[in-house]
Structure 1
């Protein structure tokens, strides 16, 4: 299934605990707690362009190819190198301090990030 589309966050679980665990400062956690982030995803075969658009116009765009190391920017503006994989229809990435998966389930984008024993889940509805 293609990930291409535009998605808006509709629910999150364990936001605060996860963001604390990855080292975001308290003021950034507070500021981002109720953001309605929009993800715009373009998939062309194994090539992806994934943009997260925040209220106020800030955005983070990452381009990657499945199975190839790419430079990516994280929510805290750190740039890292990571390799995204496709496993059973899910995007999977092992980042320096957390594990990430994304899938389309029931027409929604479901993102799960885990650090230690803390799992953060974000569900976004399709806008387009």
Structure 2
């Protein structure tokens, strides 16, 4: 499947401005600034298991099916319900205070989050 794989952050744009905008505390922003987050995606048709693994050993997993409401968690730890959509090959979801898309482009995982007019872009390379 298109998204299945293990990816490591290669570059980020607007990290500080975005996480401040969505209310992440400054001590957490500082810790996360240079994290090489690993994202593992398992896709089986419309079913996804999307895990982010932090260098601290902590991880966050969201399991969802395209078009069905699912229990989700934000990067700040808030729990919420959302319906994830697939639009033009992109996974699209509205978190409580930001809009998020993810796609595979040029073999890389490209994630874009937008809140309050600030766009955060994270590009992750596929690991062998």
TM-score, normalising length: structure 1: 0.98
Q: Residue in 1 aligned with 2:23?
A: 23
Q: Residue in 1 aligned with 2:87?
A: 87
The separation in 2 between residues aligned to 1:52 and 1:67, in whole angstroms, is 22
**Tell me, which stretches of 5 or more residues in structure 2 are unaligned?**
none
The separation in 2 between residues aligned to 1:99 and 1:52, in whole angstroms, is 18
The separation in 1 between residues aligned to 2:116 and 2:28, in whole angstroms, is 21
1:43 alignment partner, SS class: strand
What is the alpha-carbon root mean square deviation over aligned residues? 0.8
Runs (4+) of structure 1 moved beyond 6 Å?
none
Q: More deviation in 33-42 or 76-85?
A: 76-85
The separation in 2 between residues aligned to 1:109 and 1:22, in whole angstroms, is 22
Report how many aligned residue pairs link the two structures.
128
- Map residues 29-108 of structure 1 onto 2, 5 A cutoff: 29-108=29-108
Contact 2:74 2:95 (8 Å CA) reproduced = no
The separation in 2 between residues aligned to 1:74 and 1:117, in whole angstroms, is 19
The separation in 1 between residues aligned to 2:45 and 2:2, in whole angstroms, is 9
Q: CA deviation at 1:76?
A: 1.1
TM-score, normalising length: structure 2: 0.98
The separation in 2 between residues aligned to 1:88 and 1:44, in whole angstroms, is 18
